[in-house]
């Protein structure tokens, strides 16, 4: 009878590399500084040849933790910016010998933390969902939570919303003063970033002596979007600061149906700089958001918290926020 195949073990790697199992464990689990480069290379080559992967279950029995880093996000619609951030986090975590899973936070913080602890995570990356009590409970169980969002550093996730709003209002009013409208996302999911964005739009309007901005949810669906736009003030030029490019395109489609001229009667600025916004006619003016800087900061904190070597640091590609000029302003 043919014996069934089995996955390679640390003992197999040790035998092939001519080292001890302890050496294999140290090198493949991020504690390699004490070993010569030649030994590290030999162990990695043996592991690759055998297609060996350290056992999360076995490591969990020893350390009380898995190799999983849990990203906790508000239960909201994921746009391109957040998608890019998640991809970067996954790639960089792999460089630290870990994997990333995504979990949406529920409305009950206690239940969310209980579920997280059940996963025995190596660490938690919080996109603004966990309060101080939740973070303290995780810390008490030896689970670091990054980034540090206490005090002034909390602005990492929320200050960009105000900066985006400032750029949007500046673009919307290039042709003169207008009634500004904040077009939020219309979705069954809550919008955790919308209040900060609207507050930024309101502050930008106040600084310019403009009327208090309106706030309306805009469905990404033509007929409902037409209904929303029809109910906005007529006879005055409007400037729409959209939650993202999808919402902006819904506004533009509704404007075309209602024969509102862009940009004379209606100016529109989106967020995300998606390809589809640049294919629209008139081409959408939007705000490009580079999450690279944020992810780099998170990974530095994570490596420090775990006592691991930082993976190759990547640049964020320049400014975090940048106006992509189009024809809608």
Summarize pLDDT for 84-100 with one digit per residue, the tens: 888 888 888 887 778 88
Do residues 251 and 282 lie in contact, with contact meaning Cβ atoms separated by under 8 Å? no
H-helix segments, the chain: 10-17, 21-28, 37-49, 56-63, 80-94, 109-118, 132-140, 155-172, 194-207, 222-230, 245-257, 275-279, 292-306
Residue 317 has pLDDT above 60, yes or no: no
Q: Say how far apart CA 223 and CA 140 lie, in whole Å.
A: 51
User: Tens of pLDDT along 228-252?
Assistant: 999 999 889 999 999 999 999 999 9
CA distance 151 to 306: 22
Task: Assess whether pLDDT exceeds 80 at residue 177.
Answer: yes
Residue with the bigger pLDDT between 153 and 302: it is 302
What mean pLDDT value characterizes the chain? 85
Residue 45: asked if its preceding bond is cis (omega within 30°), the reply is no
pLDDT band at 265 (very low <50, low <70, confident <90, very high): very high
> Is this structure's pTM higher than 0.85?
no
DSSP category for residue 3: P
Q: Tell me the mean pLDDT in the region 259-278.
A: 94
- The residue that leads in pLDDT, 216 or 51, is 216
Q: What percent of the chain has pLDDT over 70?
A: 86
Select the more confidently predicted residue: 213 or 33.
213
pLDDT top residue among 205 and 5: 205
| Token digits of residue 86 | 């998640």
The structure tokens listed for 173 are 């009013």
Task: Please give the pLDDT value at position 311.
Answer: 63
């Amino acid at each position: 009878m043919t014996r069934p195949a089995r996955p390679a073990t640390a003992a197999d790697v040790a035998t092939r590399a001519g080292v001890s199992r302890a050496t294999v464990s140290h090198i493949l689990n991020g504690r390699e500084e004490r070993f010569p480069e030649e030994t590290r290379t030999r162990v990695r080559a043996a592991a690759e040849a055998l297609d060996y992967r350290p056992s999360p279950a076995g490591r969990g029995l020893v350390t009380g933790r898995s190799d999983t880093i849990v990203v906790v996000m508000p239960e909201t619609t994921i746009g391109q910016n957040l998608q890019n951030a998640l991809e970067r986090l996954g790639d960089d975590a792999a460089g630290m010998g870990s994997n990333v899973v995504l979990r949406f936070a529920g409305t009950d913080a206690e239940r969310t933390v209980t579920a997280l602890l059940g996963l025995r995570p190596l660490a938690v990356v919080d996109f603004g969902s966990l309060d101080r009590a939740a973070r303290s409970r995780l810390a008490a169980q030896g689970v670091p939570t990054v980034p540090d969002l206490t005090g002034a550093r909390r602005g990492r996730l929320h200050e960009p919303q105000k900066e985006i709003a400032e750029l949007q209002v500046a673009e919307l009013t290039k042709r003169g003063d207008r009634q500004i409208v904040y077009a939020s996302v219309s979705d069954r999911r809550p919008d955790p970033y919308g209040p900060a964005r609207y507050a930024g739009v309101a502050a930008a309007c106040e600084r310019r002596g403009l009327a208090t901005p309106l706030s309306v949810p805009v469905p990404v669906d033509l007929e409902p979007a037409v209904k929303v736009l029809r109910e906005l003030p007529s006879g005055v030029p409007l400037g729409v600061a959209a939650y993202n490019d999808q919402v902006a395109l819904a506004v533009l489609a509704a404007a075309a149906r209602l024969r509102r001229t862009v940009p004379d009667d209606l100016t529109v600025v989106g967020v995300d700089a998606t390809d589809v916004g640049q294919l629209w006619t008139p081409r959408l003016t939007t705000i490009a958001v580079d999450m690279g800087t944020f992810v780099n900061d998170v990974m530095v904190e994570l490596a420090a918290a775990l006592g691991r070597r930082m993976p190759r640091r990547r640049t964020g590609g320049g400014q975090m926020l940048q106006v992509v000029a189009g024809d809608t302003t």
